Amino acid sequence: MAKITGAQCLADMLAGYGATHVFMVPAVLRRTFAEMERRTKIKRIHTHGEKSAAYMADGYARASGRPGICMAQVIGALNLAAGLRDAHLAHSPVIAFTGGRDPKTKFRKVYQEVDDVPAFEPVTKWNATVDDVARFPDMVRQAFRVAVSGTPGPVHLQFRGNEGQVDAAEAEIEPLVEPQFARVPPFRPEPDTASVLAALEMLQGATRPVIVAGGGVRASQAGRELVALAEKLAIPVATSLNGKDSIPGVHPLAVGVCGTYSRESANRVIGQADLVCFVGTETGGMTTHFWAVPKIGVPAVQIDIDPEALGRNYPLRASVLGDAKVVLARMLERADARSTAKRKPWVEQAQSVCTEWAAKYRPMLESEAVPIRPERMCVELTKHVPDDGIVLVDTGHAGMWMGGMYDLRVATQSYMRSAGHLGWAFPAGLGAKCACPERPVVVFTGDAGFWYHIGEIETAVRWRINSVTVVNNNASGNQSKRGFDRVYGGEQTEKARELWTYRMVNFARIAEDIGALGIRVEKPAELAPAIQRALKADRPAIVDVATDIEALAPVAVT
C-alpha cells in the first residue's frame, strides 16, 4: 500500500461520508483544508467564532440527518465545546475536530495550551485523541459510527499538534468509508413482537389515550407512521418542542406542544388522559413541565431506541425497544381499528380543548396592535413559510412563542429548536441552509438571541447562504421581565430594567450595510410582504420586526 498523508486520508474520508461543508475558525488541520480543495468539493466555511461554527454544524446535522462537522485549533477548542452543548442536549450528530497537545512539549507552558479533552466529556458521546497518523482511518470511522448510532449525539476528536499538525505525517493508510454511518439512522432495530402487542393492547384498551411524540420521531423520520397509527386508533397527538414537526399542527388529532414552552391545549389534553404513550422522547423536564404533565404514576407506555430511556421518569405498563419508524409501522400492521369508536367522544373533547385555545388567543393572534404582538408574527409565519420550509427557532421567549403559537401546515415542513442556548438559531439556520440549499430556511429569534452571533451575517453574505432570519426585536430580553418583577416584590424599579433591556437597534440597517437584505417591519400588515420578499431574495435576509416590550408569552398550564 502506498503511503499517504493524514490530510489526504481525512479529506477523502470526509468526502466519502458525504460532507459538503465544514465549519471552523482557522487555523486547524491546515493541510487537510488544502487537500479538501485539491481532492474534494467540500466548502470550508470559516466563521466569526467557534461556537457559531458548532451551531452551524448542528443545524446542518438536524436539517439533513448527516453529521455536521466543525473544527477549532487549540485556543478555540473550548469555544467549540461550548457550542456542542446544544447538540448534546438535542441529540444531534455533530463531529468536532480540534488541535491538541504535542507529547514533545506538553506541560512546558506552551502558548495558548490547556488540556481541553476533559471539557468535551459532558457534551459528547465519545471524546478521544488521535496521536498517530496511522489511527486516522479507524478513529474517523468510529467518530461517524458513534455520532449517528442509537440516540445520536456529538463526538470529539483531538488531533496531535495545536493545529492538528499530525495530518502532515504519512503512513500506509486507507481512507475507508462505511456509508451506512453517513446518516441517521444507520440501523432500524425491529421490536420484539410481544412488546408491540402489549403496547397495542394498552392503547386499544384506553378510553382517553394521548401520544407524546419527541425528537426520536424526527430522527427516525417516523412522522408518517405516527400520524397513520394515531388516525387508525383515533388517538390525539401532543409533541415535545423537539418533536414539533412529527405531525402538522393543523392536523385534527394534533393538540400542540406540551410541557413548559407549550400550547395550553396540549397540557390540558394530557392532564385528562387515562394513558400516555411516549414515542422517541426522553420525557425530560421541558417536555413534561418537570414531570407535572403528565403526573408520574399515570398509566404509561413508551417506545424508544435506547433501552435506558424506557421507564426513566414514568413507570411503564408496556415498553417497546426499537426504531420509532419500524415500531410504529409494526403497530399499525397489528392495530385493531374496532376499538376506535369508543374514543370518538375523547377525540371530540380534545378538539374542543384546541378550539377553546384558539378562541382564547384569537385577539392576540390576529392583533393589529403597534408595536406588533409576537403572536401575530407566528401566525404570519404559519401562513407564509413555504411547504418545503425548514424553521429554526431560538430558545427563551422565541421558543415559547413559536412552540405555542406557530403551526406547521404540511408534513413536508421541518421544525428545529434550540435545546436551551440563546443565540443558537441564526447560525444553526445557516448550517441548515448549507445542508439543504434547495429548501427555504426561516429562523425566528429574539434580539438578544440575534446579538450573540450577529457577525455571521458577514459569513452568510460571503458564502451566499440565503436564509431568512426574522427578529422579534423588542430591544430587550423581556422573557426575564417576570422573574425580575418577582424578585423586586411585584413591580420593578426603573433601574431594574437595566438588567434586561437594550438600545433599540435597526437590524435591517446593519444587515444592509454588511450586504444582506434588511427589511424593517413596524406594522402588522407589513409582515406578510416582508416575509415573501425575504424568501425571494437572492441574498441572506434579515426581517427586523419592532415588537411590544410588554408582550409576555403565556406560562405553561398544568
Binding residues for ligand TPP, rule: CB under 6 A, are: 394-398, 420-422, 446-449, 472, 474, 476-480
Q: Considering beta carbons, is residue 264 or 394 the nearer one to ligand TPP?
A: 394
All cell numbers assigned to 541? 435576509
- The least distance separating ligand TPP from the CB of residue 398, rounded to whole angstroms, comes to 6
How many angstroms separate the CA atoms of 224 and 254, rounded? 13
Q: Which is nearer to ligand TPP, 161 or 477 (CB)?
A: 477
Distance CA 269, CA 351 (A): 9
As a whole number of Å, the end-to-end CA separation of the chain is: 65
CA atoms within 13 A on the CB side of 261: 24
- Whole-number Cα distances in Å, 260 to 26, 227, 335, 377, 481: 39, 24, 32, 21, 17
Smallest separation, CB 323 to ligand TPP (Å): 32
Q: How far is the CB of 57 from ligand TPP (least distance, A)?
A: 17
Beta partners for residue 541, in sequence order: 468, 517
Least Cβ distance, residue 375 to ligand TPP (angstroms): 12
Which of 99, 21, 1 has its CA nearest to residue 427?
21
Of 66 and 397, the one with the shorter C-beta distance to ligand TPP is: 397
* Residue carrying the nine cell digits 385528562: 272
DSSP 75: G
CA distance 460 to 364: 33
Query: ∠ CA 228-231-234 to the nearest 5 degrees?
Result: 145
Q: What is the DSSP letter of 547?
A: B
Nearer CB in complex with ligand TPP: 134/510: 510
- Give me the least distance between CB of 525 and ligand TPP, in Å please: 22
Strands of 460-507, DSSP E: 468-473
Please list the alpha-helical segments (H only) found in 50-135: 50-64, 77-90, 117-120
CB of 463 to ligand TPP, least distance (A): 25
Residue closer to ligand TPP (CB basis): 178 or 550: 550
Query: By the 8 A CB rule, do 50 and 25 touch?
Result: yes
**Minimal distance, residue 489 CB to ligand TPP, in Å:** 22
Pick between residue 291 and residue 500 the one whose CB is nearest to ligand TPP. 500
Q: How far is the CB of 80 from ligand TPP (least distance, A)?
A: 15
CB of 477 to ligand TPP, least distance (A): 3
- The DSSP line for 309-344 is GTTSSS--SEEEES-HHHHHHHHHHH--GGGGGGGH
DSSP one-letter code for 556: P
Based on CB atoms, which residue is closest to ligand TPP, 24 or 393? 393
Q: Which is nearer to ligand TPP, 288 or 479 (CB)?
A: 479
Contact 511, 471 (CB under 8 A): no
Select 137 or 259, whichever has its Cβ closest to ligand TPP: 259
Measuring CA to CA, which residue among 135, 136, 112 is closest to residue 27?
A: 112
Nearest approach, Cβ of residue 272 and ligand TPP (Å):
31
21 or 453: whose CB is closer to ligand TPP? 453
Specify the DSSP class assigned to residue 135. G
State the sign of the Cα–Cα–Cα–Cα dihedral 191, 192, 193, 195: negative
